[in-house]
Every structure is written in C-alpha cells, then in structure tokens.
Chains A and B, each alone.
Chain A
Amino acid sequence: MNFDLTEEQEMLQQSLGNVMENELPVNRLREIFDGEAGHDPELWKSLVELGIGGLAISDTYGGAGLEILDLAVAAETLGYHGAPVPFLGHALAAVAIEAAGNESQKKKWLPSLATGDLVGTVALAEADGLWQPDEWKMAAGDRISGVKEFVPCAELSGVMVVGLEGGQLGLVDRNAEGISLEPVDGADRTRRMSHVTFENTPCELLADSSRGAGRLRDVGLVLCAADALGGSERLLEMSVEYAKTREQFGVKIGHFQALKHQLANMALDVEPNRGLYWFAAYAQDHEPEEAERIAAVAKAHMTDRFMQVARDAVEAHGGLGFTWECDVQIWFKRAMFNRSFLGTPSQHRVRSADLAGW
C-alpha cells in the first residue's frame, strides 16, 4: 500500500504553486476580485504553459494523459491560491469530451483544449437547482433552446458541454448563433458565472453521453472537494498567522487557549480530509464500484467543512475578518461557490445514502 502522492504529483503541485506565488500575489488577486473581468489571462497563460489545460486529456490528443487524481491535485493548489482562472469548467468539458466524444469530436476539440488555445466550460444547471444528469430537461437535438444557469467563465469559453434531457451531453460552439449570456452577480468573484440562453442554437450530441454525464458530474464533485481542501488550508494558515502576530492584553492572541482550541478545531476540519479527496479522485479511474458514491461523500463533507473553516476564519480575525479589506472574504466566497455548485451538501448526502442502499 502506498496511500500517498507520487513524486510527479508533488512536483506538479510545486510548479503550479511556484507560478502562482510569483504571478498571483494577494494584491493582484484582490485587484481581479474587485475588477470587472474576474479573470487573470496572464496567469491562465502561464498555467496552460505548464500543461494544466490538458492534464487529463490523453496524449493522443495532445494532453498529458494523466488521471483524475492529478487533476484534483492541481485543483487543490489552485484552491489554495484562489486562482481566478477558468480551470473548473475547462477541466470538466475536457473530461466529458474525452469520456463521451467520438473520434472526430475528440480530434476537433481536445487538442486545442489541451494547449489552452480554447477554453471549455460546462452548462449544467437548470432553474430551481437542477444540477444532476437525471434532472436535466433541456430537449436534445441538432438545435437546442432554453436556459442554463450558473455557467462558470462562459464568456471566456470557446466550447460548452451542455447537459440535456435523459442525461445526454451536447457540444456547442460558443460562436454559434442564438447564444446570449447574462452575467451573474456571484459571491465568488474569482470564478464568474453567467446564465446562458440558447435559442435554436446548433448542437452536436456527444456520442456516448450515458457514460460521459455521470463522469462529468462525479469529477466535478471531486474537483470541488479538492479545491475545498486547498482553500480551507489557506484560511487555516491565515488564521494561525494572525494569531501569531495580533496582540491584545499585551500578548499575542495565539496564547489564548480559547483561540488555540478554535484553530485546532479548524485544523481538524482540514487535514483529515486530504486523504478523502485523494481517494475520491483515485476511485474515478481505479475503483468504478465506489467512484460515484465516494465523490458525493467527498463533495458533501469537504465543501461543508470548507464553509465552516471560512466562518471560523472570519471569527478568528475579529472585526478585521468582517471587512472587505481582509483576504479571508475571498476564500469565504470560494467556499460559498464550492458548497452550492453542482448541488448542496445535503443533496449529495441524499444521493450517497441512496447509493449505499440505506
């Protein structure tokens, strides 16, 4: 048994981390958070140069041919840095096309997704929080019409994978006719979203949708969980650092046991979950029997814990923590995104209980 990352995976984290340490100091992140675009094109360029665009795309199509665990490890690092880049939708679009596309669809889209020349995204949710493949109602066909909500980084994308009735998946060229975007005033300003309206828009069905939709959803859950680990780790570090520097009553507040215990509880909501997302990601490629259920467990648990850590982090920073100036709010809002995107923890707990046969 070797329940650990490989040296290559650690190096991947390291090199992604180095890029973000250099190019995404927190003042730069704040600038983007406060700005109009909510996206850092230079950083995305540097990251795709490291291959982040095609980590899990097979080498036949110009990707690195790695696994979901590698993708998740990257997501953790991006989550730690709060990276304002279109990674999530891009990675999921690539996973869906790889899993469900026919040869010509793969040839057409995957190489430019791998190089990052093209950004991909996924349009899944329908009104009233219908995120799951068996809930999608938009009619499938050569032309599609209807509204998809909360599509991440839609305005940056060149191709969208759209969830359709019966758990089918459609491919839509972003330049095709009849697409209109309505920006969403989302809490997380590092991952902007749009509501996307399709009006008789040309669409090509992915050949093997039945396989693709489930994998798309499960990998999405895993990536939210991995991102949550990175984000909660960052919040814990910030809170510990604050406790070591802030003084009250003539001492560093980190001397006070009440705060120490709160920070210990936060740590307990972070580190033990690392192995959970590792296994959930690993299962996507190696444990098909468990893959769907463990992805639901990991997403429900870890995005909930991330949110709790974020609330605790605000408290640990006192009045400062409640301000827009304090960096905590950036990750707090990423936690809000992770918690609700692809369905809430309680929705996934219902799924995991059903899947367990309880």
Chain B
Amino acid sequence: MDLSYGSAMEGFRDEVRSFVESNWPIESENEELSFDKQASVFRERAIGQGYLYRNIPKKYGGSEQEPDVIKAQIIREEFTRKWAPTEARGIGTMMLVPTLLEKGEEWQKEKFVQPTITGELTWCQGYSEPGSGSDLASLMTKGELQGDEWVINGQKIWTSGAHVADYMFCLVRTEPEASKHAGISYLLLDMNQPGIEVRPLRMMTGSSDFNEVFFNDARTPKDWIVGKRGEGWLVSRTTLKHERNSIGAAQQTRAALAGLVKLARESEIDGRPAIEDSSIRQQLAELEGYVKAHQYSGYRQLTQDAKGGDAGIINMMMKLLSTEIGHKVAGLSMDLLEEEGLLSAGGAQLGNRSSSAGGWISQYMYSLGIAIAGGTANVQRNVISERGLGLPRDAAADRSSGK
C-alpha cells in the first residue's frame, strides 16, 4: 500500500499547480471577461499543456497524452482545488466522443470531435423509448435506408437537452428481420429539421430539462452511422460504460456529506445548532461510514485502472453505492430543513431562513433521477447479482445476442 503519488508525480503536481495558479482566473486589463470566455481561454491553454482531453488526438483538438490515470487524477485535484474549469461535461463529450474515437469513421472524428469538446456543438442522446426503458434493446424507432438517406420514424423519451441540442446520437431499428439486439444501428442526426418535433416533459422538480422527441420522416445521411448496420447495440456499450464511471465518482458523495454537515451547522433544533443534536450526529457519522467506503473503493478502482488490473465487482457497484448514499443524504437534509420541507424548491428559495433550502429540496427529488438515469438501481442489482455473484440470469430476459 502506497498512498503517495511518488516523487515524480509530486513534481507533476507542482507543475500543474503553478499552471493553474498563473492561469486561473483569466484576467484581462481591458475588459471584464465572462466566465464562459475565461473558461474557453483557460481550456485552450490547458490543452496546450497536455492537461485536458488527454485521450483525444491532437488532430481532433485534444492533447494526445499517454494514458495515465494518476496524472489525470492529479490534474482533476489541482483544477478543482482552484475551481478552474475542467473538461466540458456535456453528454457529447462524455459519451459520444469516446464512442467516435473507438468506433467512428475518420471523417466523423474530424467533423464532430473538436467542436463537441469545445462546446460549439451540443448533443442529446436518443436511447430510451416509451416502451423501452430497462429493456432498451426492445426499441422500435425505425430507420429505413432510402437512397442516400436514413428515414427515421418513431419516438424517443427522457431525452435530456433535446430542446437545445444541435445533434442527436441515437439507437434505431434498421434491421427488422434480425434478432432483437442485432437489428439496431447507431445513427447521428441533425435536430434542426422538419421531421423532428421536441416536446418538453416537466420533471417532478418542476423544471423541464428532458423531452419527448418525435420522428416523422426525419432524415440523416447514409454515412452518419457509427459502426456497421446492426452493430449499434455493441457501439452503444462503449458509451454506457463511460456514463457509469462519471456518475459513480466518490468525490461527489464526499462533497454531499460536507454540504450536509454545513447544513447541520446552520440549522437549529430546539434553539441549538442541529450539529449538536445527538441523533443528527449519529446519522452524519453513520453516513460517513458509507462515504468512506465509497471513497476507498474509488481508490481501489483507480489503482487497478493504473496498473491495467480489474477491480472486479467493485466496478459494478460504484453507481449503486453513490445513488444509495445520495438517498441517505437527501433524507437527512429534509430532517434538517424541518418545516421548510413543506415548501417547493422555488418557495424555499424565497424564504430567508436557510439560504440553501431550495437546493436541498430540489436535490431531494433529483437524487431519484440520478438513481434512474443510466440504468436504474434495480438494473444495477441485476448486474451485481448476475455478473458479479454469478446467479442465474432471468429466463424472461432475452439477451440472446446482446452483451
């Protein structure tokens, strides 16, 4: 066991730290720069140093570094320490770009990768359908090749950001004769066309970040397909893996616990700070056990990734671990808010007793969304029990061609 990063890595840390200190925030003598402008200048410089988009080749706008999870970790630590911008975390960067790099055609990489990572192009993901949630491979949206174009008909749902995205990457059934999983292709398409209608769905939090998307003879060029016809299911697996990792980050749960401790200091029970209440202290301390276990499991993952090993069943647990902690954090926050828990998020924001109440109420609901998106908690339990513990697969689930 060695928890240091080693002297060479500490040298690297110093280098990153001094870069961040002298480059963030970006100051201009002549004008006040907006955050977005500053972020874009900063990112450009960080790419030049090899600190961001390290796995993306230079010709597509990345910094093309040797893979090194320890360096990546140090960069994350040093950047977040100073609240400097890290990689843009849109769904295009997180999910489409890795997929394109692994499975895309050369022209697709050239056309899409760079503008996606700079945020010039935004994407949405067209996976779920009204009848295809956890059983995603049963999806029905149809793609037919007519001349040089795919013609798409059907419906997607829970499509975050569809109302603002320039493009969509999506799964459609192009081979109706093939078996369930082998009939799906991975297509890219332009959202700005008459064949696409986006209708907002209102979330339980009250805001509308996701949508229904209807395709009525929507069109996309024949070669806007990633992988071959019928390979879409396999192509999409690359991206799901990426989503799991990003949601499972132990850092978020540590930050959530810290936020909760802060809330407990600011809230009162019987005229005393809630943090002094023995029941609240018990609950916080109990939560910390889960948070620490999550944190050190992250270290195990990092260690195995760094040496090309496999953290095994832990990899299948990270998402469920963090969403379970999320539920516990959310529950305790509502106890701390006391009667403010009667309010809507918006209503709480108008109140003046605890400034963060609106955020906590919103998070109380949003924690459920996280537990559902990217594979529900129960799907995670299926994965853990079947792939992790080797229990028999459910006979009802048709996974004949998918994996």
Contacts and interface: CB of A to CB of B under 8 A. Distances in A.
Contacts of A278: 1, 296
B34 interface: no
Given A263-B389, A282-B1, A282-B3, A358 B284 contact: yes
A261 B385 CA distance: 7
A260 B286 contact: no
B254 interface: no
A166 B306 CA distance: 47
B45 interface: no
A302 B324 CA distance: 17
A252 interface: yes
A268 to B, nearest CB: 6
A254 B384 contact: no
Contact of A3 (B300, B386, B390): B300
Contacts of A352: 285, 288
Interface in B372-403: 378, 380-382, 384-386, 388-392, 394-395
The B interface, classified by DSSP as helix, strand, loop or mixed, is helix
Interface stretch (B191-199, B312-320, B351-359): B312-320
B385 A301 contact: no
A2 B308 CA distance: 12
Contact of B286 (A240, A279, A300): A300
Contact of B296 (A261, A263, A276, A287): A276
A246 interface: no
A240 B387 CA distance: 13
Interface in B284-323: 284-286, 288-290, 292-297, 299-300, 302-304, 306-307, 313-314, 317, 320-321
4 smallest beta-carbon distances between A and B, as pairs: A301-B289, A275-B296, A349-B285, A3-B299
Given A2-B303, A3-B303, A352-B288, A267 B4 contact: no
Residue among A254, A268, A298, A301 having the largest count of chain B Cβ atoms under 10 Å: A268
A298 B296 CA distance: 12
B160 to A, nearest CB: 27
Interface string A263-286: 111011001111110110010001
Interface in A2-23: 2-6
B384 A358 contact: no
Contacts of A273: 293
Contacts of A254: 391-392
B293 A272 contact: yes
B5 interface: yes
A226 B323 CA distance: 25
B305 to A, nearest CB: 11
B282 A346 contact: yes
Interface residues of B, number: 52
Contacts of B275: 358
Interface string A19-51: 000000000000000000000000000000000
A108 interface: no
Contacts of B392: 244, 252, 254-255
B41 interface: no
B302 A267 contact: no
A353 B275 CA distance: 9
Given A1-B70, A260-B381, A272 B391 contact: no
B29 to A, nearest CB: 41
A290 B294 CA distance: 17
A300 B303 contact: no
Residue among A236, A264, A301 having the largest count of chain B Cβ atoms under 10 Å: A264
A268 B377 CA distance: 12
Given A257-B382, A350-B281, A286 B389 contact: no
Contacts of B304: 4
Contacts of A151: none
B296 A69 contact: no
Given A240-B391, A261-B381, A286 B3 contact: yes
Given A304-B289, A358-B275, 11 more contacts: A69-B1, A263-B389, A263-B391, A271-B313, A271-B317, A272-B297, A276-B293, A279-B299, A282-B3, A287-B3, A353-B281
Interface in A315-358: 345-346, 349-350, 352-353, 356, 358
B282 A349 contact: yes
Contact of B300 (A6, A274, A294, A353): A274
B3 A264 contact: no
